[in-house]
Chain A
Amino acid sequence: GAVVSQHPSRVICKSGTSVKIECRSLDFQATTMFWYRQFPKQSLMLMATSNEGSKATYEQGVEKDKFLINHASLTLSTLTVASAHPEDSSFYICSARDSRGEQYFGPGTRLTVT
């Protein structure tokens, strides 16, 4: 089946630093990737839709200047959390949609900001 990878799987950083998370579709091309955030014991909340070669579309309440998304190729999307703060600590999960419209999730990145 289709595989989506995320790197890193876990990151701990100090408040004020920026963190980049990569999402790759390993065996298929994804024109659209999605970024979700999941706080403990809560559901996945869609943050933004990332389209290859164009600007990401952000959900209401998500700061685009803080969560920078780049979808430079059909297999790679990156999420950069700029000037991270403790309240940004969360589980960030990407998904990639293939040509049939099926969506595959990455394993997630656990971000802890101290």
Chain B
Amino acid sequence: GQQVMQIPQYQHVQEGEDFTTYCNSSTTLSNIQWYKQRPGGHPVFLIQLVKSGEVKKQKRLTFQFGEAKKNSSLHITATQTTDVGTYFCAGLGSSYKLIFGSGTRLLVRP
């Protein structure tokens, strides 16, 4: 079945440093979505990428979708303590089910 892998599992950065999480799917995706989950909270939708090679930006966050529509990345420039949380990618495959990656937990030292 469809699998979505995400690395790294966690990352601890100094405030102001950059952060990147990577997502790889075993199959070609219709789209990929990114979510942020704070401790004790539920996943909050960040963005959806649909087109091959698409790049979208939200302030300090840059999202990319690979040319083959099998991988994606989220890059945060100059992290802040408010960026703390777990970032999940979720791929929508041919079965129209959203399969979540394992998540990357981001910790930011002030």
Contact = CB atoms under 8 A, between A and B. Distances in A.
A75 interface: no
Given A43-B103, A107-B42, A95 B1 contact: no
B91 to A, nearest CB: 12
Q: Is the interface of B mostly helix, strand, loop or mixed?
A: strand
B42 A34 contact: no
A46 B43 contact: no
Contacts of A104: 45
B97 A60 contact: no
A44 interface: yes
Interface in B34-70: 35, 41-45, 48
B42 A108 contact: yes
A114 B1 CA distance: 34
Interface residues of A, number: 20
A78 interface: no
Interface of B: 1, 33, 35, 41-45, 48, 88, 90, 96-103, 105
Interface of A: 34, 36, 41-46, 49, 60, 93, 95, 101-108
15 contacts: A34-B98, A41-B105, A42-B102, A42-B103, A43-B100, A44-B88, A45-B100, A46-B97, A49-B97, A93-B42, A93-B43, A102-B48, A103-B98, A106-B42, A107-B41
